[in-house]
Amino acid sequence: MNLVIKSDYESLSLAAAQAIMELSKQKKEVNICLPTGTTPKGMYKALVDLHQAGQADFSFINWFTLDEYLGIPLSSPFSCYQQITELFYEPTGISKDRIFTFNSEAKDLDAEAARYNAIIEHMGGLDLAIVGIGMNGHVGFNEPGSSANAPTRVIDLHERTLVQSKKYFTDDHPIPTKGITLGMKTLLQSKEVFVVANGEEKADIVKVAIHGPVSDDVPVSHFQTHAGATFLLDTLAASKLK
């Protein structure tokens, strides 16, 4: 496990974008897992800026959604897929042949989870997974209680996750109570993982994630055991570290 602390959110976002840029320079097929939420928005902006400046070639990269809400179509502006599409895929003209995501409306969701995970395995696994940290230590929708061997699956969203997600929804579009997520097992098999967090409100959970015991109760703590994992923080998120 590695630790990188940046002075501010802009620097943190650029560092996350540069991790993707380094892989893109290899000019060979790579598989990258992308998150949603507030934290990665700066990363997506940096990637779009680099692309528009002619400094980025994403044509060799396959993109995988980390997780998805159930009960809403992918075309909904509230879906994780649509958020990434608006922030990154559309502005950079990513080919749809390179984009992989869950079918949140599949009739058999357990089979859908297995299908999605099988695609990643067939394509050689993830080269880079970029993830955030939930206030309860979740990763994607791997909620507290998720072991290092937790599979890609459907999951009931934790109460604290629902509270945290409320800002992304409206009264007319209530928060789904279930999600589908890449499992900790698949994420821990990624060659590299960037765990990104910013802001003072994340300082407590960051401290537990890095200095606390490795525990299923705090799924993000499992990355302590991953030699290719990097906790990428701004100074506020890192303010309670020793």
3-class state of residue 82 by DSSP: helix
The domain total for the chain is: 1
Return the pLDDT at 170: 67
Q: Look at residue 159 and tell me if it is in a domain.
A: yes
Residues of the domain holding 47: 2-189+216-230
CATH code assigned at 150: 3.40.50.1360
Q: What is the pLDDT of residue 222?
A: 98
> Is there a contact between 117 and 193 (Cβ–Cβ < 8 Å)?
no
pLDDT at position 34 is: 98
**For residue 138, is it within any domain?**
yes
Name the pLDDT band for 171 (thresholds 50, 70, 90).
Answer: low
Q: How many other CB atoms sit within 10 Å of the CB of residue 159? A: 11
User: Would residue 72 count as lying in a domain?
Assistant: yes
Average pLDDT over residues 181-198: 98
Q: Which of 132, 125, 109 is nearest to 62 (CA)?
A: 125
Residue from 68, 112, 127, 143 carrying the catalytic annotation: 143
Q: Who has greater pLDDT, 167 or 234? A: 234
State percent of the chain over pLDDT 90: 84
**Catalytic residue selected from 67, 112, 192, 234:** 67
HSE of 220, CA atoms in CB hemisphere, 13 A: 29
Q: Is residue 138 pLDDT above 90, yes or no?
A: yes
Q: What is the pLDDT averaged over residues 123-149? A: 97
Each residue's pLDDT tens digit, 108-119:
999 999 999 999
- Whether 227 has a pLDDT exceeding 80, the answer reads yes
Residue 197 lies in a domain: no
Is 103 an active-site residue?
no
Per-residue pLDDT, 163: 73
Respond yes or no: is residue 67 known to be catalytic.
yes
Confirm whether 225 is domain-assigned: yes
Query: pTM for the whole thing?
Result: 0.94
Which pLDDT does position 225 carry in this prediction?
A: 97
What does the pLDDT look like over 72-90, one tens digit per residue? 889 998 899 999 999 999 9
198 is a catalytic site residue: no
What's the whole-number mean pLDDT along residues 219-224? 98
Helix 41-52 vs helix 9-24: angle between axes, to the nearest 10 degrees?
50
| Catalytic one of 31, 112, 127, 138 | 138
* Catalytic-labelled residue, pool 31, 62, 68, 136: 136
210 located within any domain? no
Q: Give a yes or no: residue 62 inside a domain.
A: yes
* Euclidean distance between CA atoms 176 and 198, whole angstroms: 25
62 is catalytic: no
**How do residues 190-210 score in pLDDT, each as one tens digit?**
999 999 999 999 999 999 999
- Whether 142 is in a domain gets the answer yes
Helices (H), ranges, 54-183: 80-84, 90-92, 109-122, 159-165
Nearest-angstrom CA–CA distance, 33 and 39: 15
Question: Residue 161 — pLDDT band, cuts 50, 70, 90?
Answer: confident
Q: H or E element: which one contains 160?
A: helix 159-165
Predicted local confidence at residue 242, as pLDDT: 80
